[in-house]
């Protein structure tokens, strides 16, 4: 092997052994076009070479599954002849380099994944992670990412209805931008991406091809970020939501008219991945002539056209006799339509330039022969993460602690961000961001009854403490958010954000987290219908927290009587539902004190599954006015958040919960855990006293505790006759509303 060949393939992210494998499959050394295509198809981002074996452990089958993993998006049956398509993907590395365009094109890409299978996008949710906001870099990244998400979603007219934003030191140099899209379609309109029909034409739709995004999948998404990351800004794609709107409507009309045999998004690796994956799924070959590809930059070489990640482009297969009809529809929508190739029976991806071959590769080698690596997981002897910076004195009294928690970035209102998004466009939104734990969207526009609920969740710090339990908790929290609006989960998508899997401790985190996701999904009976893996999320400060993000869709039979997340009326009884056993390990309070646990309490998946079913039933009965899950900051924060919705206070007695936790002789520790401890299973609910008492009578004391009553202008918490804390609702609101916003004022 020559030194020049060494330099070429290593610069593209291929190892020496991978290069030798390519030479073996081709029977010769690859030329520049072939090497560029192989480098992308065998990159981590496209080939999943360190995670594909693990992903096979996830359950993917269920009675509602219409499309599972392997397509552009997954889809589930929601009845009345409709399917809901959804998927979550990351755009982490591009957003860390150029946050506005990185986040904007992340939204554009996930929208295309959904309409590529024939579903109309109706909602976007986002899951974001940044460093602490006292860092100018973190503020820059968050400001740019939020603006980019708002720009793309608002411009294209798809509502951003929910999401989460969390902060931590390990995300300062490598932020996370995960975007989830939900779409809806008649079941019979769904289309797959497999190319079919030898002699059919391969047609490129949409924007001009340029040099933006070249190397994105291999240069950015499949390697750690270093000090030279700013120089990679040209690898970040540039998005145009107005062009995408035209492409979206054009594609849906083409599918309605049954003019397409198959449809595929051009995402990471551009034509290289879209063409080879379509050919692989169809068991065919594809010839492409790069000279036919419309370009916006002169002098582009063949390999640049093949690897460009220019946005707002789709690839489709069309019967020759239907090409003119396809062109007519494209002309109506002002969408470029160019036949650039054909389906063949060769089983090869052939790249031509003005009819002359410049690349010839077996499809099987590109897609199915990507090397898959066994991880070498090893549990670290000590935490690989520095403890968070202490921000709260351990001696602070409970009232001051609660105010500090409400002001902390992870708990404080994210209104500053979500008010930049249009959450109502499309007129489907039943619950605005902040008014319920899950977004709820009407199905009535499509002639169906009911609604769907959608949520996205994850907590990297808790997964860092215990990868298995933390991943289980992410699934449970997502399902609990759906239960708070009466929705039963139908399917799940995930985005696995981790560091460098070649490092044993990262491999251990990844393996444990996937095991936790698999066990939780099986216990709840929720299939995984698709997702994304984002590895090598490391910068100068080390790896990010291991951050599996879970998105879930459920069906809501009757959206007309949904509870709210906050208290709605004086005199309602407050009840704590679920097998909630909070602990300070992994909690936001622990982080504020500058500490980090190395494990989380074990949990009983069967008990949590039963409790979720009970909560759904209670909500669907329509007798609960409030349902809000207990999450970051524990029960005291959940109660305070419920008070803030309409400014209604509460009087609460936690004696029974403290007794539930009182196996240890440390009464002070049990009280603090009851107030601020975290863990899965808790839902704060409220309603008319008679209804609540009837509900509690049907349950056991370990799954239902009456805590008190709504009313007044204070949140007052006691145990028996002993007052523990009292704060004005107005003071709680001041802390909650300004914790994030003040950093951007």
> Taking a C-beta distance cutoff of 8 angstroms, is the pair 145, 177 a contact?
yes
Number of neighbouring beta carbons within 10 Å of residue 147: 16
The number of CA neighbours under 13 Å toward the Cβ of 38 is 31
Q: Report helix angle 634-644 to 729-738, nearest 10.
A: 100
**Which entry of 9, 45, 628, 714 is annotated as an active-site residue?**
45
Give 70: exposed, middle or buried? Use CB within 10 Å, 0-12, 13-18, 19+: middle
Kind of pairing between the strands at 356-362 and 74-79: unpaired
SS3 415: helix
Q: How many helices (DSSP H) and strands (DSSP E) are in the chain?
A: 25, 27
Among 284, 283, 340, 280, residue whose Cα is nearest residue 315 = 340
**Residues forming a β-bridge with 77:** 83
Residue 466 phi/psi, 5-degree rounding, is -155, 95
Determine the distance from the C-alpha atom of residue 413 to the mean position of all C-alpha atoms in its chain, rounded to a whole number.
20
The strands making up 120-130's β-sheet, listed across from edge to edge, are 65-67, 74-79, 82-90, 176-186, 120-130, 159-167
> From the CB of residue 738, how many other CB atoms can be counted at a distance below 10 Å?
16
User: Do residues 372 and 52 touch, judged by C-beta distance below 8 A?
Assistant: yes
Place of tokens 């008990």: 607
Q: What is the DSSP string of 611-639?
A: HHHHHHHHHHTT--SEEEE--TTHHHHHH
Instruction: Assess whether 45 carries a catalytic annotation.
Output: yes
Catalytic choice (9, 50, 64, 91): 91
d(CA 693, CA 575): 9
Three-state SS for 181?
Answer: strand
Distance separating alpha carbons of residues 719 and 612, to the nearest angstrom: 27
Extract the tokens encoding 112. 């295309």
Among candidates 737, 715, 711, 738, which has minimal Cα distance to 726?
A: 715
Contact between 553 and 76 under an 8 Å Cβ cutoff? The reply is yes
Burial classification of residue 319, based on how many CB atoms lie within 10 Å of its CB (0-12 exposed, 13-18 middle, 19 or more buried): middle
Q: Residue 420: exposed, middle, or buried by beta-carbon count in 10 A (0-12, 13-18, 19+)?
A: middle
Separation CA 542–CA 520 (nearest Å) = 29
Pairwise CA distance, residues 442 & 417, whole Å: 24
Give the residue from 193, 185, 175, 159 showing the smallest Cα distance to 94: 175
Tokens of 726: 């009292």
The answer to whether the CB of 468 falls within 8 A of the CB of 530 is no
Asked about 91 being catalytic, the answer comes back as yes
Residue with tokens 């951050």, as numbered in its chain: 547
Strands (E), 384-438: none
Catalytic residues: 45, 91
């Amino acid at each position: 092997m020559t030194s020049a060949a060494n330099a070429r393939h290593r610069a593209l992210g291929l190892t020496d052994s991978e290069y030798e494998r390519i030479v073996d499959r081709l029977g010769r050394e690859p030329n520049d076009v072939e090497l560029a295509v192989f480098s992308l198809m065998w990159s981590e981002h496209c080939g999943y070479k360190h995670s594909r074996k693990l992903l096979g452990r996830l359950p993917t089958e269920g009675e509602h599954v219409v499309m599972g993993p392997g397509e552009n998006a997954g889809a589930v049956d929601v009845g009345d002849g409709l399917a809901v398509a959804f998927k979550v993907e990351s755009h982490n590395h591009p957003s860390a380099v150029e946050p506005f365009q990185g986040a904007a094109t992340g939204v554009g890409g996930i929208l295309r994944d959904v309409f590529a299978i024939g579903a109309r996008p109706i909602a976007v949710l986002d899951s974001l992670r940044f460093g602490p906001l006292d860092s100018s870099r973190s503020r820059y990244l968050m400001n740019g990412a939020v603006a980019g998400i708002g720009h793309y979603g608002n411009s294209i007219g798809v509502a951003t209805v929910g999401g989460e934003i969390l902060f931590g030191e390990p995300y300062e140099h490598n932020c996370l931008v995960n975007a989830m899209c939900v779409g809806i379609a008649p079941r019979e309109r769904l289309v797959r991406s497999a190319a079919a029909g030898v002699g059919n034409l391969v047609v490129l739709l949409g924007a001009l091809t340029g040099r933006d995004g070249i190397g994105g999948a291999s240069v950015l998404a499949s390697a750690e970020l270093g000090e030279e990351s700013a120089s990679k800004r040209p690898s970040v794609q540039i998005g145009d939501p107005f062009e995408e709107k035209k492409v979206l409507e054009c594609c849906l009309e083409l599918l309605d008219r049954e003019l397409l045999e198959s449809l595929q998004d051009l995402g990471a690796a551009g034509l290289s991945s879209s063409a080879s994956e379509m050919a692989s799924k169809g068991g065919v070959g594809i010839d492409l002539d790069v000279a036919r590809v419309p370009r916006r930059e002169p002098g582009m070489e063949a390999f640049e056209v093949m690897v460009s990640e220019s946005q707002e482009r789709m690839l489709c297969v069309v019967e020759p006799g239907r090409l003119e009809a396809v062109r007519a529809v494209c002309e109506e929508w002002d969408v470029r339509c160019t036949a650039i190739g054909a389906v063949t029976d060769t089983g090869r991806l052939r790249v031509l330039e003005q009819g002359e071959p410049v690349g010839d590769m077996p499809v099987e080698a590109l897609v199915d022969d990507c090397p898959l690596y066994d991880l070498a997981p090893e549990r670290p002897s000590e935490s690989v993460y520095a403890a968070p910076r202490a921000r709260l004195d351990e001696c602070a009294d409970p009232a001051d602690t609660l105010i500090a928690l409400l002001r902390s970035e992870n708990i404080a209102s994210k209104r500053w961000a979500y008010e930049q998004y249009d959450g109502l466009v499309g007129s489907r939104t039943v619950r605005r961001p902040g008014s319920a734990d899950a977004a709820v969207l009407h199905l009535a526009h499509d002639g169906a009854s009911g609604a769907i609920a959608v949520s996205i969740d994850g907590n990297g710090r808790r997964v860092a403490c215990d990868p298995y339990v933390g991943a289980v908790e992410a699934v449970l929290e997502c399902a609990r958010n759906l239960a708070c609006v009466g929705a039963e989960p139908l399917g799940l998508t995930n985005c696995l954000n981790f560091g460098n899997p070649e490092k044993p401790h990262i491999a251990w985190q990844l393996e444990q987290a996937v095991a936790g996701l698999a066990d939780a999904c099986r216990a709840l009976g929720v299939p995984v219908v698709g997702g994304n893996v984002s590895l090598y999320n490391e910068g100068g400060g080390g790896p990010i927290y291991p951050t599996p993000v879970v998105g879930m869709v459920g069906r809501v039979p009757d959206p007309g009587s949904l509870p709210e997340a906050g208290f709605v009326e004086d005199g309602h009884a407050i009840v704590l539902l679920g097998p909630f056993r909070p602990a300070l390990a992994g909690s936001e309070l622990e982080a504020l004190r500058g500490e980090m646990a190395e494990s989380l309490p074990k949990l009983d998946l069967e008990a949590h599954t039963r409790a979720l079913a009970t909560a759904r039933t209670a909500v669907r009965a329509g007798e609960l006015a409030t349902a809000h899950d207990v999450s970051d900051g524990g029960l005291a924060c959940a109660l305070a958040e419920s008070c803030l919705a309409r400014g209604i206070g509460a009087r609460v007695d936690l004696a029974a919960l403290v007794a539930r936790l009182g196996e240890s002789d440390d009464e002070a520790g049990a009280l603090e855990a009851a107030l601020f401890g975290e863990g899965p299973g808790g839902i704060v609910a409220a309603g008319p006293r008679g209804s609540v008492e009837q509900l509690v009578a049907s349950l056991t004391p370990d799954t239902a505790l009456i805590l008190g009553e709504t009313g007044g202008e204070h949140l007052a918490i006691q145990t028996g006759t002993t007052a523990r804390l009292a704060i004005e609702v107005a003071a709680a609101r001041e802390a909650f509303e300004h914790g994030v916003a003040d950093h951007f004022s």
